[in-house]
Chains A and B, each alone.
Chain A
Amino acid sequence: MQRTQNYGTATVAKTIVCAALASAPVHASTVNAFEKLLAKPSASRGVLGATTDQLARDNGPWQDSATTIAVAITDQLAGDEAPWVDRATTPREELIGELRSMRLLKADWDGEGAVRPDIQSIDAAVNFVRLLSESSLLPESMIHASGRAGLLWRDEGVYADLEFYPGKIVFYLERGATKLKGAIEFDNKSMPDLFPRLLHA
């Protein structure tokens, strides 16, 4: 699926934005701004500059990264005829994007008094997904009323529900006749030994 060739402005921007979304905090206004930008195939440095300015006026934790992304796009577009890698967003990137979008939810996001999303918990879930091997089954994302993030597997004979607490993962897992549950430490950097075998990771 992966191809390398020259592409127009929109493709360049999309590639960079996809990469940025998978690694940086993001805000809905940022996404909207880029969506508008991408709707214009002839986007120029002037348009990008305006986007940068608009983003810089926003106040929030996303400001720096959003501005950086916009500047990066502007700079990249300044170089002509550079080869760009164009590829579809991978399922893993989509999953990470889903988890990151949960950060935007406000308190009572479910209309039943749910707690504001726990950013550390969401980040831990994102890091866990990044640590899954290429051959692993990808889970579904969940956000709990507690504000904590969760991951869910329920295909190919595996049921696994993981919830991300500060410094640990609380889990319940069924595979065939095997049932496991408990809490395991997670440092955001290395995959706990328990999971690779059980999740085909």
Chain B
Amino acid sequence: MITNRCRICSRVSSTLKDFYFHHVGGVGDCLGTSERTDEATDRVAQINAIGPACRCELVRMSEFSPCPVRNIERLDRAVFNPIHIDKQGRLKPSLFTHAFAKGCSIQRGCLATTEELVAFFTKMLRDQVGWTWYGVVTASGEGIRAITVDDSKSRGMCLYDTALRENPAHAEIAMSSTPSLQFDEPELRKHLTDAFGGGKIVRPKEYRGGAVLDAMPADLRSRIAV
């Protein structure tokens, strides 16, 4: 149901919104900036410069995205061992550090197909010898948007629909322009961990009812922590 609602999100509507915010509402070229800064180490700062206070959330950030990320959406971030896991099998908050500079990649649950997810996990495991796929952590769009700094009302994190041609469900978490000092980052990592279920890891056999696990290539099965 959510998938259908998400997919029918009107591109016409998004285009009209883009036009309005570009030319009337004062938001800069969010989509263009997103595309230009794909590999930039200061991508988040550049997007904040063009759309401060998460204003780029209001428009599409990729031509491959059907619509901006909505509050009701389920968002997943992949977890791999050993880099994201401590000795007791708990999530390390460093999983979210990309949110402060390049953008922290997540998958939109309502858009991602099993095939796309299999392709994603397969690529990661083939590229990173010695890793195992440990699971995913899950948050809602609303939960991430509710993150604030210093218990203030200022948003701490933004959500952008940065879809890729080969991964249309791709999105990003990025620090908003509000936390301007470095010492907000450790606090935001804690809040992000809390938003992602307190770091509760959904194991591959539970993730999407095991559909992704079942479709993974046989030669990678030994590198999946079921």
- As a 0/1 sequence over residues 53 to 81 of chain B, the CB contacts with chain A under 8 angstroms (1 = contact) are 00000000000000000000000000000
Which residues of the partner chain B approach A162 to less than 8 Å between Cβ atoms? 186
| Contact status B189-A181, CB under 8 Å | no
- As a 0/1 sequence over residues 155 to 173 of chain A, the CB contacts with chain B under 8 angstroms (1 = contact) are 0000101110100001110
Q: Which of A52-60, A71-79, A142-150 contacts B (4 or more CB under 8 A)?
A: A142-150
Interface centre among B87, B90, B102, B187 (most CB of A within 10 A): B187
Whole-angstrom distance from the CB of B55 to the nearest CB of chain A?
A: 25
Interface of A is mostly: strand
| Contact status A143-B94, CB under 8 Å | yes
Q: Which of A9-17, A34-42, A110-118 contacts B (4 or more CB under 8 A)?
A: A110-118
| Contact status A112-B189, CB under 8 Å | no
| Contact status A152-B93, CB under 8 Å | yes
| Contact status A145-B97, CB under 8 Å | yes
Confirm or deny: A185 has a beta carbon within 8 angstroms of a beta carbon on chain B.
no
How extensive is the interface on chain B, given as a class?
A: 20 to 34
Confirm or deny: A64 has a beta carbon within 8 angstroms of a beta carbon on chain B.
no
Q: In the complex, what distance in Å separates the CA atom of A115 from the CA atom of B39? A: 12
Which residues of the partner chain A approach B190 to less than 8 Å between Cβ atoms? 159, 161, 172, 174
| Contact status B186-A163, CB under 8 Å | yes
Confirm or deny: A183 has a beta carbon within 8 angstroms of a beta carbon on chain B.
yes
Q: In the complex, what distance in Å separates the CA atom of A169 from the CA atom of B149? A: 19
Interface hits, B95-118 → A, CB 8 Å: 97-98, 100-102, 105
Whole-angstrom distance from the CB of B37 to the nearest CB of chain A?
A: 12
Confirm or deny: B83 has a beta carbon within 8 angstroms of a beta carbon on chain A.
yes
Confirm or deny: B92 has a beta carbon within 8 angstroms of a beta carbon on chain A.
yes
Q: In the complex, what distance in Å separates the CA atom of A171 from the CA atom of B185? A: 8
Q: In the complex, what distance in Å separates the CA atom of A140 from the CA atom of B86? A: 7
Which of the residues B39, B41, B97, B187 comes within 8 Å of A181, measured between beta carbons? B187
| Contact status B182-A183, CB under 8 Å | yes
Residues of A within 8 A of B (CB): 109-115, 140, 142-146, 150, 152, 154, 159, 161-163, 165, 170-172, 174, 181-183
Please name 10 pairs of A and B residues whose Cβ atoms are closer than 8 Å in the assembled complex, sorted by A.
Answer: A110-B83, A142-B92, A144-B94, A144-B97, A146-B100, A152-B86, A152-B93, A161-B189, A161-B190, A174-B190
Residues of B within 8 A of A (CB): 39, 41, 83, 86-87, 90, 92-94, 97-98, 100-102, 105, 124, 127-128, 182-187, 189-190
